C-alpha cells in the first residue's frame, strides 16, 4: 500500500492504492473503512503520502503532530557476571524464558532525577565452545577442553522508557526516492537528557544486584544505542482528546478521516518500558469492534 485514497468532499477515505513491486503497476482497492497496521513508521509514511492535495503534510497532519513524538525502548545497557559452582548441573530441552525484573524506579516513594523507569530481561547459561576462541588450542587438547561445558554465566539487559518529544520526528524526503519511485522516510530521533540519566541507573543497579548475589567478575556495560535498535518503534500518529494536538481520537480514528483507523505502534502516546505488542492487539480488537458498530449505525 502506498497511500490511502481520500475524498475531500465527503471527508472520507475511499480505499487504498497499492504498488505491485514486480511490475511497478498501481491498483486501487475500494473500501468503506481502512485499517493501517503496517508498523509505526510505515503507517506514518502511508499517512504522509496520502491526501497531499488537501494537506501538505498528508492525511492526519492538520494538527501538525503527524510524524512527531517518535519513541523506542532504549537498551544495550546492563551487567554480566560469572557464577561459581553448580558444575554438576545443566539445562535440557527448550527453556520457556529467562528472567524478568519489573520496573522499580520512580515507584511509590522512590524518586529519581529522571522520569519513568526501566525493567530487566536476563538469562543464565553455561559457557560454550567459544569461551576459548581468544586463545585457540590445537588438536586433541582443544577437543578435550571443549568436550565439557564451561562455567555458568549470567547477564541482564535493561529496557527503558523513552519520553515522547515533539523534536523526535520522521518526515518524507521527497527529493530522494526508492527503487519504486516513492519518497524515502527520514528519521531525526535521539535519546534526550532523561534517557541518558536513566541509563546510569540501568547499569549501576544491575551491577549492584549481581554484587549483592555474590557473583564474580561483575561487569557493567553501556553499549552504543540508537533509536530503532530496540525494534519497539512507537508514536508518530498519537491518540488524543483534542484534534489540535493529536492525529487520532480515543477510538484510533484519524481526526481528518473517521473511517481510517491506525492501531499499531504509531498510535501510542507513551512507551512504558515493557513490550507493547499485546497493547497493539488490544487496541486493534477494540477499534475493530467499534468500527463494526459504527458501520451498523451508518456513522462511517
Do 67 and 116 lie in one domain? The reply is: no
pTM of this prediction? Answer: 0.90
* Structural domain of 201: 77-163+192-222
Domains identified in the chain, total number: 2
Please give the full DSSP string across the chain, using - where no structure is assigned.
Answer: --EEEEETTTTEEEEEEEE-TTT--EEEEE-S-EEE-S-HHHHHHHHHTS-TTT-TT-TT-TTS-TTBS-B--B-SEEEEEEE---TT----S-----EEE---TTSTT---SSSS-EEEEEEEEE--GGGGGGG---HHHHHHHHTS---EEEEEEEEE-----TTSEEEEEEEEE-TTSPEEEEEE----HHHHHHHHHHHHHHHHHHHHTT-EEEEEEE----TTTTS--B-SS-B-S-TTT-SB-TTSEETTEEEEEE-SGGG-S---SS--HHHHHHHHHHHHHHHHHHHHHT--
How confident is the prediction along the chain (300 residues), in pLDDT tens digits per residue? 999 999 999 999 999 999 999 999 999 999 999 999 999 999 999 999 999 999 999 999 999 999 999 999 999 999 999 999 988 888 777 766 789 999 999 999 999 999 999 999 999 988 876 665 656 566 777 777 777 788 899 999 999 999 999 999 999 999 999 999 999 999 999 999 999 999 999 999 999 999 999 999 999 999 989 999 999 999 999 999 999 999 999 999 999 999 999 999 999 999 999 999 999 999 999 999 999 999 999 999
Same structural domain for residues 86 and 152?
yes
Is residue 172 assigned to a domain? no
CATH number, residue 276: 3.50.50.60
Amino acid at each position: 500500500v502506498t497511500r490511502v485514497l481520500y475524498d475531500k468532499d465527503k471527508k472520507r477515505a475511499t480505499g487504498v492504492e497499492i504498488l505491485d513491486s514486480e511490475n511497478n503497476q498501481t491498483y486501487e482497492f475500494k473500501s468503506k473503512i481502512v485499517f493501517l497496521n503496517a508498523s509505526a513508521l510505515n503507517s506514518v509514511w502511508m499517512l504522509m503520502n496520502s491526501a497531499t492535495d488537501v494537506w501538505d503534510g498528508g492525511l492526519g497532519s492538520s494538527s501538525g503532530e503527524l510524524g512527531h513524538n517518535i519513541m523506542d525502548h532504549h537498551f544495550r545497557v546492563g551487567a554480566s557476571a560469572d557464577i561459581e559452582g553448580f558444575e554438576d548441573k545443566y539445562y535440557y530441552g527448550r527453556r520457556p524464558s529467562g528472567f524478568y525484573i519489573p520496573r522499580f524506579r520512580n515507584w511509590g516513594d522512590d524518586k529519581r532525577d529522571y522520569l519513568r523507569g526501566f525493567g530487566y530481561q536476563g538469562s543464565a547459561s553455561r559457557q560454550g565452545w567459544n569461551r576459548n576462541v581468544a586463545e585457540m588450542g590445537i588438536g586433541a587438547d582443544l577437543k578435550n577442553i571443549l568436550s565439557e561445558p564451561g562455567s555458568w554465566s549470567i547477564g541482564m539487559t535493561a529496557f527503558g522508557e523513552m519520553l515522547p518529544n515533539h523534536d523526535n520526528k520522521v518526515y518524507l524526503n521527497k527529493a530522494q526516492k526508492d527503487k519504486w519511485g516513492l519518497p524515502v522516510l527520514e528519521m531525526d530521533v535521539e535519546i534526550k537528557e532523561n534517557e541518558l540519566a536513566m541509563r546510569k541507573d540501568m547499569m549501576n543497579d544491575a551491577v549492584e544486584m549481581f554484587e549483592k548475589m555474590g557473583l564474580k567478575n561483575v561487569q557493567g556495560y553501556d553499549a552504543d544505542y540508537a533509536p530503532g535498535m530496540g525494534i519497539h518503534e512507537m508514536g508518530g500518529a498519537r491518540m488524543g482528546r483534542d484534534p489540535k494536538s493529536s492525529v487520532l481520537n480515543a477510538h484510533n480514528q484519524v481526526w481528518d478521516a473517521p473511517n481510517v483507523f491506525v492501531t499499531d505502534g504509531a498510535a501510542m502516546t507513551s512507551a512504558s518500558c515493557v513490550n507493547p505488542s499485546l497493547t497493539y492487539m488490544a487496541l486493534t480488537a477494540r477499534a475493530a469492534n467499534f468500527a463494526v458498530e459504527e458501520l451498523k449505525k451508518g456513522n462511517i
